Structure 1
Amino acid sequence: MIIDHPLLGPRDSSEFTYMGDAALIDRPDPEAEDAAQAFYEYAYLRDNPAGWHRELWFHEAGDRSWLVVTRNTLTHEISNVELARDVARSRGRSA
């Protein structure tokens, strides 16, 4: 599988480590009234979709960047690759 890194161009997926659902970018607010329940769900409850899914990938054998990869889990087709910091910033989160 080839991941088209936004800064470095096409790279083999063996350079990367899959780190889970891209929803992990949206950490719960620790000051919220329901923080304990929100962090439980954040840490332990995961979807395992068949089809298109946004995932976090870490470029471990490269520039050590974090990417959000939109990938079909059935075919491994990749439709989009973004820097995770840009995704976090667009959602008003610090990266």
Structure 2
Amino acid sequence: MLITCPYCGPRDVSEFSYQGDGNRTRPDPASTDQAAWNAYVYDRTNIAGDHREIWQHSGGCRSHLAVTRSTLTHRISEVALAGGSTGRRHGGRS
């Protein structure tokens, strides 16, 4: 599987580290709402199809990327800088 880093170009997935689900919202760190924290940590959906994930280019420029990947085919349809950056968007290849 290849992931197209906005800075480094297409790279093998072995250069990247999976950081987690890109759709979940973390509760406020000061929150003491046990139910919200339990839901954040343990409640997971297992969707079939396109899924937004966060990856870090740990073997390259160290950027955090928002990757849209099909869980059925592993085809990557979009890669962008994570965190709301206005970086360039690139289609990925699998």
Same fold (TM over 0.5): yes
User: Are positions 1:71 and 2:60 aligned together?
Assistant: no
C-alpha separation in 2, matches of 1:12 and 1:30: 34
Higher helix fraction: Structure 1 or Structure 2? 1
Corresponding residue of 2:90: none
Q: Aligned AA for 1:19?
A: Q
Contact 1:29 1:35 in 2 (8 A): no
Q: Does residue 1:10 correspond to 2:30, yes or no?
A: no
1:15-59 deviation digits (Å, cap 9, x = unpaired): 0111221024x2112455x73211111111111211110011111
Structure 2 length as normaliser, TM-score? 0.78
Which residue in 2 is equivalent to 1:83? 81
- The answer to which structure, 1 or 2, has the higher relative contact order (CA under 8 A, 6+ apart) is 2
Q: Which residue of 2 aligns with 1:38?
A: 36
Q: Distance in 2 between matches of 1:16 and 1:9?
A: 13
Question: Once superposed, what is the RMSD of the aligned Cα atoms?
Answer: 1.8
TM-score, normalised by the number of residues in structure 1: 0.77
Aligned length: 85
Contact 2:54 2:67 in 1 (8 A): yes
